[in-house]
Amino acid sequence: MAKLNVIQSHIHPSEVIRGITAWDLKGLIVVFINMMLRETAVPNTTPEGPLLMATNLIRNYGVNASIIDLNAYRIKDELAQRRGLSNGRHLTEEEVFGKIQRHFIRFGEPDLVCLSGMITTLKWQKAVAEMVRQLVPRTMLDSGGGLATE
């Protein structure tokens, strides 16, 4: 019986990382960016998922991981008052860009930037991804949460 030459059209992720050890990840710089949620609400949820992943990377792989929690900010200023936001407003795009830029300068150019996401944060995900690309064009971007399949 003749043997068919089959072309593999699907590669499992484990095939890509086969042979990579914890030591290979040591020293990588990873930044998790938690997106803004419900501007009208007080930010009352810590980014537990990114915090757990960052802690695991730091403790078990020697990765330099950090988090930018964009949802933690509610600015109480004239703009928030004009918009009727008693709890304060989100950061503007310019403020977010500056915060990300300062973070990268302080902690180093990241090898990987991970964006949290839910369907309600898609607009911010796109904007932040573009900001990251402007600042560090070759850095790998990853999206998790509800937008992991986007």
Distance CA 146, CA 150 (A): 9
Question: Is domain 22-147 annotated with CATH 3.30.70?
Answer: no
Look at residue 13 in the predicted model and tell me its pLDDT.
65
Q: Over the stretch 69-123, which tens digit does the pLDDT of each residue have?
A: 998 888 898 998 999 888 888 889 999 999 999 999 999 999 999 998 766 677 8
User: Helix or strand or coil: residue 130?
Assistant: helix
DSSP state, residue 70: G
| pTM listed for this prediction | 0.81
Taking every pair of C-alpha atoms in the chain, what is the biggest distance, in angstroms? 80
Distance CA 21, CA 108 (A): 23
Looking at every residue in the chain, the average pLDDT score rounds to 85
Residue type, 61: Y
Distance CA 18, CA 102 (A): 35
Domain map (residue ranges) of the chain: 22-147
Look at residue 66 in the predicted model and tell me its pLDDT.
97
Residue 27 has pLDDT above 50, yes or no: yes
Q: Over the stretch 28-44, which tens digit does the pLDDT of each residue have?
A: 999 999 988 777 777 77
In the chain the beta strands, taken as DSSP E runs, fall at 29-34, 64-69, 112-115, 140-143
Q: Residue 134 — very low, low, confident or very high, per pLDDT cuts 50/70/90?
A: very high
